[in-house]
């Protein structure tokens, strides 16, 4: 760990409190000049550090820059890999690469301030502009089969809702299968990609990608998204991003340990009672969503006015 990282770790642990240069120098066994240089470097990177003569250095409470040190401080399971990028092609792509190359701990995280090739379902791109959202991927080793994969997706959706509610005081709805909505606007996409054992059907590992729109991008969303996409916070509203990421990871690890579909997934779902367009396989149909069943599947009233069950699918709601 570099001197700068060590300083940031101590500042995060004491956020909002002054630490003298002399105290920091003693703790890290470096000179006060090295402390000063490290603080200057952190300030140049955008960290809100106040320096006051005879008082020392303080990391402001509203500092919201993502950092490995800040995220790890929030995690219950700390022995994980954490990578923080300013920009990356795709956090899911990076995490899958790392998972194949080396045995990483359960709960490892790759997070970026922006993605150039963010991934959505069915090969779609996920718009991931700088400084307006959180884009992260989490590695899981669930003891489940491919037939139980819906349980993972549902658990992650509930976990993100709980973390957002805790940190941002905003209540989100879930659109079956795994998109999160605020009102009639999508504010979060979840992409679950699994590597499975072909012979047994057991899941070897899962990479869960989460794209959460915190703020509307400067200049607004692109034309093709402006009617569909939204953000959970008004522009200028501050949130502790490191805390929010930590809460999401902690909650995901907790929720994915549960067996079956959590009742909260059903209760938060915005689909039942609405007419929907559902794509399943090569077909696209318009049906009436009736109910989310206990196993997470969707019960609908089809074109023949008969009940039909969908195990998965891509849904758009007719608001």
Give tens-digit pLDDT for 20-52.
Answer: 999 999 999 999 999 999 999 999 988 999 999
With 80 as the cut, is the pLDDT of residue 204 above it?
yes
- The answer to whether the bond into 38 is cis (omega within 30° of 0) is no
Whole-angstrom Cα distance, residue 21 to residue 56?
Answer: 6
pLDDT above 70 covers a percentage of the chain that reads 100
Phi, psi of 296 (to 5 degrees): 90, -5
Quote the mean pLDDT of the chain. Answer: 93
Model pLDDT, residue 1: 75
Number of H helices, E strands in the chain: 8, 14
Residue 237 CB-density burial (10 A; 0-12 exposed, 13-18 middle, 19+ buried): exposed
Task: Name the nearest CA neighbour of 160 among 248, 249, 257.
Answer: 248
Q: Is the pLDDT of residue 64 over 90?
A: no
pLDDT of residue 148: 84
Given this model, what pLDDT does residue 38 score? 95
Average pLDDT over residues 281-288: 90
What is the predicted pLDDT for the residue at 168? 96
**Beta carbons of 24 and 10 less than 8 angstroms apart:** yes
* 162 vs 239: which has the higher pLDDT: 162
Residue pair 66/73 in contact (Cβ under 8 Å)? The answer is no
DSSP letter, residue 54: T
CA distance 109 to 91: 9
pLDDT of residue 222: 93
Whether 195 shows a pLDDT value over 80: the answer reads yes
Q: CA 246: distance to chain centroid?
A: 9
Lowest mean pLDDT among 28-37, 88-97, 196-205, 274-283: 196-205
Cβ-count burial of 138 within 10 angstroms (0-12 exposed, 13-18 middle, 19+ buried)?
Answer: buried
DSSP letter, residue 76: S
pLDDT score of 16 = 92
Q: Would the pLDDT of 13 be above 80?
A: yes
Which tokens is 121 given?
A: 């379902």
Q: Give the tens place of pLDDT for each residue, 165-189.
A: 999 999 999 999 989 999 999 999 9
Other C-beta atoms closer than 10 Å to the C-beta of 206 total: 22
Query: What local confidence, expressed as pLDDT, does residue 186 receive?
Result: 97
pLDDT at 52: 95
Question: Could you give the CA distance from residue 38 to residue 32 in angstroms, rounded to a whole number?
Answer: 10
Cα separation, 82 vs 283, in Å, equals: 40
Question: Which is higher by pLDDT, 142 or 196?
Answer: 142
Can you give the pLDDT at residue 254?
97
* pLDDT at residue number 293: 94
Under the banding of pLDDT at 50, 70 and 90, the label for residue 145 is: confident
For the chain, what percentages of helix, strand and coil (3-state, to nearest 5) are there? 30, 30, 40
Would the pLDDT of 104 be above 90? yes
Residue 197 clears pLDDT 80, i.e. is over it: no
What is the pLDDT, as a whole number, of residue 174?
97
Residue 62 token pair:
């509203």
Neighbouring residues of 294: CB distance < 8 A, sequence distance ≥ 6? 260, 261, 266
Q: How far apart are the first and last CA of the chain?
A: 51
CA-to-CA distance for 124 and 281, rounded, in angstroms?
16
- 212-261 pLDDT tens trace: 999 999 889 999 999 999 999 997 788 999 999 999 999 999 999 999 99
Helix axes 149-168, 241-255, angle to 10 degrees: 150
pLDDT tens-digit map of 72-84:
999 999 999 999 9
CA-to-CA dists, residue 160 to 18, 130, 301, angstroms? 33, 21, 30
Quick one: DSSP state of residue 26?
Answer: H
Q: Which residues make Cβ contacts (< 8 Å) with residue 148, sequence separation at least 6?
A: none
**Looking only at Cα atoms, what is the longest distance across the chain?**
79
| Highest averaged pLDDT of the listed ranges 116-125, 145-154, 182-191 | 182-191
**Phi, psi for residue 109 in degrees, rounded to 5:** -135, 135
pLDDT for res 255:
96
């Amino acid at each position: 760990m570099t001197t700068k990282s060590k300083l940031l770790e101590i500042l995060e642990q004491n956020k909002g409190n002054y630490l003298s240069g002399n105290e920091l120098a003693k703790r890290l066994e470096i000179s006060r000049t090295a402390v000063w240089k490290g603080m200057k470097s952190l300030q140049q990177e955008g960290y809100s550090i106040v320096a006051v003569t005879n008082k020392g250095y303080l990391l402001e409470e509203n500092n919201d820059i993502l950092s490995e040190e800040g995220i790890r401080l929030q995690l219950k399971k700390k022995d994980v890999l954490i990578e923080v990028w300013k920009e990356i092609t795709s956090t899911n792509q990076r995490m899958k690469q790392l998972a194949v190359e080396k045995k990483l701990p359960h709960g490892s995280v790759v997070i970026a301030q922006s993605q150039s090739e963010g991934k959505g379902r069915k090969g779609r791109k996920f718009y991931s502009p700088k400084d307006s959202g959180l884009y992260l991927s989490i590695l899981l080793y669930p003891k489940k089969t491919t037939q139980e994969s819906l349980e993972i997706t549902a658990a992650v959706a509930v976990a993100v809702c709980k973390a957002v509610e805790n940190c941002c005081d905003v209540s989100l709805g879930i659109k079956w299968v795994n998109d999160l909505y605020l009102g009639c606007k999508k504010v979060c996409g979840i992409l679950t990609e699994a590597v499975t054992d072909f012979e047994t059907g057991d899941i070897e590992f899962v990479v869960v990608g989460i794209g959460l729109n915190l703020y509307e991008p400067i200049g607004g969303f692109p034309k093709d998204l402006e009617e569909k996409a939204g953000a959970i916070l008004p522009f200028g509203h501050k949130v502790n991003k490191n805390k929010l990421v930590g809460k999401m990871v902690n909650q995901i690890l907790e929720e994915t340990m549960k067996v079956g579909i959590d009742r909260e997934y059903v209760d938060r779902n915005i689909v039942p009672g609405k007419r929907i367009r559902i794509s399943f396989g090569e077909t696209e149909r318009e049906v009436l969503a009736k109910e989310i069943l206990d196993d997470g599947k969707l019960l609908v009233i089809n074109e023949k006015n008969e009940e039909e069950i969908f195990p998965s699918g891509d849904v758009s709601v007719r608001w």
